[in-house]
A and B are shown apart, each in its own frame.
Chain A
């Protein structure tokens, strides 16, 4: 699908699916962008979602997805790395392409990203969150890839293929798909050190000299995702219409705060979609 969609929904959990279904019900074109990693899939037992008692999270997610699919909504799988408000429309950096939409609903769940020492200080000075974005700037130089997301090994392989001297660090086992030429350290990165720019990272007890470090987490903090977005205690600040501080940008579900429950997510998805539809109608006037 090309051209500008009315509404891009980021996140394929209960809030995102509810938003997509309800946006469609309002006659809007929708693109549903999802990493496919919904927390609900791992819930053993759901007992407080009305009408669906004694059901597993996986079964309930299947029902939600079936409902969306029956309406012709299928999630496009991939990570959204940036959402850029451009006054009247948005650009989203999604799986290596640019997606445009008039309004956006963020249903990104909770981000449990704990910053490490030196991370903020050296961001853009050796610290990067995106191999495909900044990789070229490290050709012929050293970079540590700290893999915290399932697809991290692929990104490390990409960096290696363009001529970066890659070292892969991650707690646990060496990923099977990591190229054999790439050295592996079975430790997390605990600190980033340098002066002006990154000179080394600490993994376990060792200090490893490097020009850069790619931190590849699953979760992206909302403020990193959307420039200028206001948050409160790490949650996206919204009003009763699920509108954020940025016109045309709405949020729903766990990312807006407690209670982190399915019923709340589904309800907020509905409100966000209807508010977004109304917003789009107001643009045309």
Chain B
């Protein structure tokens, strides 16, 4: 596990997304092949944005409450939160630049 990635539990999740920094959350599961293919990209984003944005992973099997709260119907789904607000939903497997563009937009870069 990379140190640049956070794995919040239910309580930590709400606290995390209402912080000052944008938060990218990757909703995933063990059995999901495309999620495993996205994992290296998420790791890389964690390192690339360390200090500027939070990068988190939520296992939908461990936290079905979060999956149902955000009506996750396909994984991987990446959600980006800005000061507690859902700013972006990116469904499916995408190239790294799709995620960096979305984060950079929020960071004003």
Contact = CB atoms under 8 A, between A and B. Distances in A.
B33 A132 contact: yes
A84 B91 contact: no
Nearest to A123: B91
A125 interface: yes
B88 to A, nearest CB: 13
Name the residue among B32, B67, B91 with the largest chain A CB count within 10 angstroms. Answer: B32
Given A82-B37, A98-B36, A125-B91, A134 B75 contact: yes
Contacts of B66: none
Interface residues of B, number: 27
B33 A98 contact: yes
B60 A137 contact: yes
Contacts of B36: 91, 98
B73 interface: yes
Contacts of B61: 136
Given A124-B92, A227-B93, A227-B94, A134 B74 contact: yes
Interface of A is mostly: mixed
B19 interface: no
Most buried by B among A86, A123, A128: A86
A133 B75 contact: yes
B97 A228 contact: yes
Interface of A: 81-82, 84-87, 91, 93, 96, 98, 123-126, 128, 130, 132-134, 136-138, 196-197, 211-212, 227-228
Interface of B: 29, 31-34, 36-38, 40-41, 60-61, 67, 71-75, 77, 91-98
